Structure 1
Amino acid sequence: MMMLALLGFGTVLTFIALIMTRRLSAVVALVSIPVLFGLIAGAGAGLGEMMLKGVADVTPVAVMLSFAVLYFAVMMDAGLFDPLVRRTVRMVGNDPMRVSIGTVALGSLVSVDGDGTTTALIVISTMLPIYHAVRMNPMILATLLALTNAVMNFVPWGGPSARAAAALKVDLVHDIFVPMLPAMILTLIGIFVLAWHFGRMERRRLNWSPSAPQPTKARDDEVVPPERRPRLIWFNLALTIALMVSMMTGVAPPPALMMIAFAIALTVNYPSLKEQRARMEQHAFNVVMVVALMFAAGSFTGIVAGTGMLDAMAASLLHVVPPALGPYLASLTALLSMPMTFLMSNDAYYFGIVPVIAQTAASFGIPPEAIARASLVGQPVHSFSPLLAAVYLAAGLLRLEVGDVQRFALRYAVLTSLFLLAMLLLTGALPLWV
């Protein structure tokens, strides 16, 4: 068991080191590193089946992401987001501080649906042209977007909160969300402060002044690009709202809904085969990158889980905390959630690690709902995990390397998690000890 745990940590750490130092691309590292360590673990011929099982597990998500990229690309080409961009531009102008603060404001509104993928697609589609026009660092957009979405994802229909409640069998709204709400609001305010800091930093770097020209300001008389479909904006808006409502209400599986919506959007906005082919070719690179990364990540998790490395890592991590620190397990769980959620998926953490921690904490009088809230503290750090599909999606849309984004953003993610922990302790949502 110890050997499997060491191999598991070696797999994850080697992968992280290689992509953060840019020695290998994410796709190559996701496929080759676990195969190498799987061979060392003696998995041998079974690796192929493990890889295919992992790929099969992520196939629905990969399908949804690929058609989501195409759908929102068509919406962007057709001009659905143009009014939102113009309104945002009018508010933020060319001031880097307003742009960074506007990123958090827009991200917090779009994140209400609890879907990180949708948030990334809409916010990046809206804000990236402004960042380019103002010449701001797109790393700031990636950082603020991920941190905002991580905090807003504590809503009851968000993935982490739902997993914590299901794993510990506690009430999602009354035991998790409501006690965390004050700390969640205060942490969101803290992210606005971080955006203000980024804005000041960019003002100095760009030598910005209030009298500077405003290159981002849209003109009403500017030439409309030929691919735009301004007359179809209300149809596109209704279709997008219907898609979001259908996904939230569970009318059909999300991948199926996204495929249907894309087919309708492409046919209505670009009825000729030539136009459809042009739109598909325009965005083929992003789709290929997202799908390749998703399948590679599925192969990675398939091997790590299939060889038993994942279970061994989970068991070994539980022995890190000495029994004398039992009364502090709630706050310690919050601290450990940062590296744990960075190194493993939410499913592995919430369904494999958290229940065992909660069972141990119960012997010290710590209620399960406290452990559930503590387990969410690491989500800002998790938002940059190399095992998270949204990281690759955002990096692909921004044309950035994942390792570069992690090097820039992780320090701010750790600070955000620590700030969230402080607010939970301050508001009484989390006990320091019992």
Structure 2
Amino acid sequence: MLALLGFLLILTFMFLIMTKRLSAMIALMVIPVIFALIGGFGKDIGPMALQGIKDVAPTGIMILFAILFFGIMIDAGVFDPIISRILKIAKGDPVKIAIGTAVLALLISLDGDGTTTYMITISAMLPLYKRIGMRPLVLAGIAVSASGVMNLLPWGGPTARAMTALKLEMSDIFTPVIPSMIGGVIFVLFMSYVLGKKERKRIGVAEIDYSTMAMQAATVDPEVLALKRPKLIVINYALTILLLVALIKELLPTTVLFMVGFAIAITLNYPKLKDQKERVAHYADNALSVVTMVFAAGIFTGILTGTKMVDAMANSMITHIPDGLGSHFAIITAIISAPFTFFMSNDAFYYGVLPLLAKAAAGYGIDPAMIGRASLMGLPVHLLSPLVPSTYLLVGMVGEDFGDLQRGFLKWACGSTLVMILVAIGLSIIPF
């Protein structure tokens, strides 16, 4: 009964946001409350929701100050040289721009942090997309697709969780799946090429003269020009690089790093209090829309976890796998990892479900390492989940609807997962 309630909750939620009958933020808060009441958890809704909010609070605060930090960097002109360089190489060709976006996102994703990837990629590329006339949704889709594949990196989170849950080493789980990861990268580049071709056809031009674009770029609003800090560009680059290094090395909690980074950035670039207030007010709309979504997701995950619906759904799916398919348990794990990580948090899947899958597979003589590798195949789909806070940041930055991103790119995410699974099977990374 609990599992059925959980599945109905998920299906109702997805239907409402993808058909735009409710906004994602409202659905995240209202739908789980309704289903919790139906399940008889009325008196426990408050504590469960509050626990979920507490769990996402550090992430919400981190995203808030990440928006403020990179907003300062954008205003100060840190990404202008990058945009100019990409513009010069691409010469206004949507195909080259789309592929360039993928390459940029893939490289930035090496730090394993989706928030950083989106902040830098969108900050650098969105002005260019708008200038060319390309759809911002394409930019968001390429960025999330690239980040989804690179999410396999051990320091990205899921792989580390899998290694910890199964008590295995990097050489057991991550190293063997590198070829699958490369397959995913190639698929993302192919996807970018296809999307670029569609944008080129839609815009109606094959290539735009760079000199014309450069003239347009030179026509800058005086108010925007007044915010530029060309004399501080070296210092701003150094500050940005230092922050990224600190994030990778985890010198301090991510939230603290972005708070301190923002404080330094705004003081250096806009020392007057009046200017600082104006800059913070300028980012308020975007920051508020993203952060409120994160806390709304906290209610969703808090109730889904607290009611044990997640556990019931996982156990239901595992117990209904026919014995005749037991020898194919690794492939089954790879396939179901996509919906599992889509509908539940990484912690819930890798610490709660994965050990159960490994134990069940052991009964058929399948090495736990194989199950661990298979569990990573669904990560491209995971980042389009309504439970991933950084994805709200992404859609907020490009000004698009979360449901539109899912409708447009879930199929591509499934394609990435399929390619990775096929490579894994072909190279015996996981047994057939």
Aligned to 1:208: 205
Alpha carbons 1:86, 1:218 under 8 Å: kept: no
Normalising to structure 2: TM-score of the pair?
0.96
Alpha-carbon distance change, 92 to 142 in structure 1, aligned in 2, over 3 angstroms: same
Matched letter for residue 28 of structure 2? L
Aligned pairs for 1:181-196 (under 5 A) are 181-196=178-193
Deviations 1:338-362 (A, max 9, x none): 2111111111111111110111111
Aligned to 1:73: 71
For the residue of structure 2 that corresponds to 1:177, the secondary structure is helix
For the residue of structure 1 that corresponds to 2:319, the secondary structure is coil
Alpha-carbon distance change, 18 to 209 in structure 1, aligned in 2, over 3 angstroms: same
Return the alpha-carbon distance in structure 1 between the equivalents of residues 18 and 138 of structure 2: 18
Alpha-carbon distance change, 221 to 408 in structure 1, aligned in 2, over 3 angstroms: closer
Return the alpha-carbon distance in structure 1 between the equivalents of residues 215 and 151 of structure 2: 33
- Cα drift, residue 388 of structure 1: 1.1
Matched letter for residue 244 of structure 2? M
Matched letter for residue 209 of structure 1? A
Alpha carbons 1:94, 1:214 under 8 Å: kept: no
Aligned to 1:371: 371
Alpha-carbon distance change, 216 to 394 in structure 1, aligned in 2, over 3 angstroms: farther
Structure 2 stretches lacking a partner, 5+ long: none
- Is 1:356 aligned with 2:353? no
For the residue of structure 2 that corresponds to 1:170, the secondary structure is coil
- Cα drift, residue 183 of structure 1: 2.0
For the residue of structure 1 that corresponds to 2:294, the secondary structure is helix
- Cα drift, residue 133 of structure 1: 1.2
For the residue of structure 2 that corresponds to 1:225, the secondary structure is helix
Return the alpha-carbon distance in structure 2 between the equivalents of residues 417 and 127 of structure 1: 26
Aligned to 1:64: 62
Deviations 1:360-393 (A, max 9, x none): 1112121111111111111111111111112211
Aligned to 1:410: 410
Return the alpha-carbon distance in structure 2 between the equivalents of residues 244 and 213 of structure 1: 32
Alpha carbons 1:58, 1:294 under 8 Å: kept: yes
- Cα drift, residue 222 of structure 1: 5.4
For the residue of structure 2 that corresponds to 1:404, the secondary structure is helix
Aligned to 1:243: 243
Return the alpha-carbon distance in structure 2 between the equivalents of residues 211 and 162 of structure 1: 45
Alpha carbons 2:63, 2:390 under 8 Å: kept: no
Matched letter for residue 14 of structure 1? T
Alpha-carbon distance change, 15 to 214 in structure 1, aligned in 2, over 3 angstroms: farther
- Cα drift, residue 216 of structure 1: 4.0
- Cα drift, residue 237 of structure 1: 1.2
- Cα drift, residue 218 of structure 1: 6.5
Aligned pairs for 1:251-400 (under 5 A) are 251-400=251-400
Aligned to 1:108: 106
Deviations 1:88-115 (A, max 9, x none): 1111121011011101110111000000
- Cα drift, residue 213 of structure 1: 6.7
- Cα drift, residue 211 of structure 1: 6.1
How many residue pairs are counted as aligned between the two chains? Answer: 429
Return the alpha-carbon distance in structure 2 between the equivalents of residues 218 and 97 of structure 1: 22
Return the alpha-carbon distance in structure 1 between the equivalents of residues 100 and 39 of structure 2: 49
Matched letter for residue 174 of structure 2? F
Aligned pairs for 1:80-91 (under 5 A) are 80-91=78-89
Could you say which structure has the higher helix fraction? 2
- Cα drift, residue 421 of structure 1: 0.6
- Cα drift, residue 169 of structure 1: 1.1
Alpha carbons 1:392, 1:402 under 8 Å: kept: yes
Return the alpha-carbon distance in structure 2 between the equivalents of residues 406 and 342 of structure 1: 11
Runs of 4+ off more than 2 Å: 209-224
Alpha carbons 1:8, 1:304 under 8 Å: kept: yes
Alpha carbons 2:92, 2:208 under 8 Å: kept: no
Normalising to structure 1: TM-score of the pair?
0.95
Alpha carbons 1:133, 1:215 under 8 Å: kept: no
Aligned to 1:18: 16
Return the alpha-carbon distance in structure 2 between the equivalents of residues 203 and 291 of structure 1: 34
For the residue of structure 2 that corresponds to 1:22, the secondary structure is coil
- Cα RMSD of the aligned pairs, angstroms, is 1.6
- Cα drift, residue 6 of structure 1: 1.3
Aligned to 1:178: 175
Return the alpha-carbon distance in structure 2 between the equivalents of residues 343 and 219 of structure 1: 45
- Cα drift, residue 40 of structure 1: 1.0
Alpha-carbon distance change, 218 to 332 in structure 1, aligned in 2, over 3 angstroms: farther
Match among 98, 123, 126 for residue 125 of structure 1: 123
Matched letter for residue 178 of structure 1? T
Matched letter for residue 130 of structure 1? L
Deviations 1:201-252 (A, max 9, x none): 2222222134667654368965571111111111111111221222222222
Aligned to 1:42: 40
Alpha-carbon distance change, 215 to 51 in structure 1, aligned in 2, over 3 angstroms: farther
Deviates more, 1:217-226 or 1:396-405: 217-226
Matched letter for residue 151 of structure 1? V
Deviates more, 1:154-163 or 1:108-117: 154-163
Alpha-carbon distance change, 213 to 266 in structure 1, aligned in 2, over 3 angstroms: closer
Alpha-carbon distance change, 214 to 359 in structure 1, aligned in 2, over 3 angstroms: farther
Aligned to 1:421: 421
